[in-house]
Amino acid sequence: MQIIVNQIPQTINASSLADTLIELGFTGPAIATAINGQFVPRDARADVTLAHGDRLEVLAPMQGG
- pLDDT tens digits, one per residue of 29-60: 889 999 999 999 999 999 999 999 999 999 98
Asked if residue 63 has pLDDT above 90, the reply is no
Q: What is the pTM for the complete model shown? A: 0.89
d(CA 26, CA 65): 23
- Domains of the chain (ranges; CATH) run 2-59 (3.10.20.30)
Q: What is the pLDDT of residue 29?
A: 82
Asked if residue 19 has pLDDT above 90, the reply is yes
d(CA 20, CA 52): 13
Asked if residue 64 has pLDDT above 70, the reply is no
Q: What is the pLDDT of residue 49?
A: 97
Strands (E), the chain: 2-5, 8-11, 32-35, 38-40, 55-59
